[in-house]
């Protein structure tokens, strides 16, 4: 076992301590209501129905845990309790759990694991078997197996994968965790997108997210969007664009991406973001154009995308087909980033528009917007744009 692997296990043990303790307490205290309302009053259950198999199991496991905490072997009287549990509940996994726990305290690790595995086979919903197996897997360096057991255990607590995500996120940040997490994701793919979405909320985790990802094609939830938006918001435009190219499998290209507004799996912000708000709607029409509906009540960005433009002169052109209202209420705006300064602001006109503008030095990226600008009196505008082009001007 390498030093990095040992460090990873130690780091995980510290991170998971609270989750493991919570799972243990939940197993010992929270079960199906039975034995004189033992769920809310375990002491009363112990007094009123001490021979009930579930009550006996809780009592025996607590005795084993107490003895282990003192560094002692569990008392031999426990064996009689185990026989009573087996007699009263012959299909229960609890006798195997108890014998496995005893074997573990005696250092008989192989026997302990076999007994606990048998308990899990008898009842896959056995929280005690899952917990003790998880603890053994972590202790012996089988982190992926331990993570699987803990996820099932958390699910048995009716928390679902969401309840396990914070612990997974914390573990993912520890040294040496990446291969273990990727192995876990291959067995539990539904957990991957949830964990990466949380990590992607911090631009500092970008490299970690990319290293952990086993599925970057249309993940649900889509962690790619917060990752890329976070990098852009942090001013890391070059890294954001390079990451977007990697995730989308797209070759570098100057100008606007997907200028024909086709259905495309590449994520924003270097592909289109369309508005669907009370102030306005943008929707690709499937014919190479974009339908815009603006109600004129308040300023709104109807469609936008980030792009990388080198300092140069550019020509912007598009066809405009209005069907209602005043086209000039919708404008094409190009903003220099960082700073958000407009370097082009072109009102729509029936038939189409052509405009020229320059990108100055210092623009690390640009944001192209189709935006509604409110006038003095609210009025609805509806139009379609098509044949959109943004090209560098040819040099003489």
- Single pTM value for the model: 0.69
Distances (CA, A) of 125 to 156, 259, 356: 7, 53, 67
273-392 fold = Jelly Rolls (2.60.120)
**What is the assigned CATH class of domain 3-156?**
mainly alpha
Average pLDDT of adjacent 10-residue blocks, the chain of 396 residues:
51 46 37 36 42 57 58 61 56 72 77 82 78 78 78 63 74 87 85 92 95 91 95 95 93 89 94 96 97 97 96 96 96 96 97 96 96 93 97 77
| Residues 98, 61: Cα–Cα separation, whole Å | 7
The sign of the CA dihedral 124, 129, 135, 138 is: negative
Which among 303, 313, 317, 387 is positioned nearest to 348, based on CA atoms?
317
Q: What is the largest CA-CA distance in the chain?
A: 97
The sign of the CA dihedral 294, 299, 300, 304 is: positive
| Residues 293, 343: Cα–Cα separation, whole Å | 25
3-state class of 349 per DSSP?
Answer: coil
> Which phi and psi angles does 2 have, rounded to 5°?
-75, 165
**Residue 142's pLDDT is what?**
79
State the distance between the two ends of the chain, measured CA to CA, in whole angstroms: 65
| Residues 294, 325: Cα–Cα separation, whole Å | 9
The sign of the CA dihedral 244, 249, 255, 260 is: negative
Domain coordinates of the chain in residue numbers? 3-156, 171-252, 273-392
Distances (CA, A) of 273 to 63, 161, 224, 334, 367: 60, 29, 14, 15, 11
DSSP 244-296: HHHHHTPPP-SS-SSTT-----PPTTSS-EE-EETTEEEEE-SSSEEEEEE-S
Non-local (6+) Cβ contacts of 160 within 8 A are 154
| Residues 138, 150: Cα–Cα separation, whole Å | 10
Which among 385, 294, 392 is positioned nearest to 348, based on CA atoms?
385
- As a residue count, the chain comes to 396
**Residue 97's pLDDT is what?**
76
DSSP 145-207: HHHHHHHHHHHHTT-TGGGTHHHHHHHHTSTTHHHHHHHHHHH-HHHHHHHHHHHHTSGGGHH
> Which phi and psi angles does 216 have, rounded to 5°?
-110, 10
| Residues 15, 28: Cα–Cα separation, whole Å | 22
């Amino acid at each position: 076992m390498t030093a990095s692997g040992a460090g990873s296990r130690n780091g995980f043990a510290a991170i998971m301590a609270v989750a493991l303790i919570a799972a243990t307490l939940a197993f010992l205290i929270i079960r199906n209501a039975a034995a004189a309302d033992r769920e809310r009053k375990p002491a009363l259950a112990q007094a009123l129905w001490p021979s009930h198999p579930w009550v006996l199991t809780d009592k025996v496991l607590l005795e084993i845990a107490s003895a282990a905490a003192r560094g002692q072997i569990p008392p031999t009287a426990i064996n009689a309790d185990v026989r009573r549990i087996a007699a009263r509940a012959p299909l229960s996994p609890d006798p195997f759990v108890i014998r496995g726990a005893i074997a573990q305290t005696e250092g008989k690790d192989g026997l302990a694991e076999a007994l606990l595995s048998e308990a899990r086979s008898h009842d896959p919903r056995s929280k005690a078997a899952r917990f003790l197996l998880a603890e053994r897997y972590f202790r012996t360096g089988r982190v992926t197996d331990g993570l699987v057991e803990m996820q099932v255990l958390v699910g048995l607590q009716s928390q679902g994968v969401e309840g396990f995500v914070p612990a997974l996120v914390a573990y993912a940040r520890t040294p040496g965790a990446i291969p273990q997490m990727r192995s876990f994701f291959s067995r539990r793919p539904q957990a991957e997108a949830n964990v990466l979405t949380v990590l992607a909320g911090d631009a500092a985790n970008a490299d970690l997210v990319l290293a952990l990802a086993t599925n970057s094609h249309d993940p649900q939830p889509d962690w790619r969007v917060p990752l890329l938006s976070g990098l852009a918001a942090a001013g890391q435009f070059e890294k954001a664009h390079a990451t977007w190219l990697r995730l989308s499998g797209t070759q570098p290209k100057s100008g606007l991406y997907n200028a024909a507004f086709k259905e495309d799996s590449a994520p924003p912000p270097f592909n289109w973001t369309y508005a669907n708000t009370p102030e306005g709607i943008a929707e690709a029409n499937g014919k190479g154009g974009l339908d815009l509906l603006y109600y004129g009540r308040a300023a709104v960005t109807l469609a936008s995308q980030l792009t990388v433009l080198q300092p140069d002169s550019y020509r912007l052109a598009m066809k405009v087909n209005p069907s209602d209202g005043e086209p000039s209420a919708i404008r094409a705006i190009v903003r220099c980033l960082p700073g958000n300064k407009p370097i082009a602001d072109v009102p729509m006109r029936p038939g189409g528009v052509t405009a020229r503008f320059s990108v100055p030095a210092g623009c690390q990226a640009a944001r192209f917007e189709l935006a509604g600008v409110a006038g003095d009196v609210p009025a609805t505008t509806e139009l379609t744009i098509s044949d959109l082009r943004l090209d560098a001007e040819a040099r003489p």
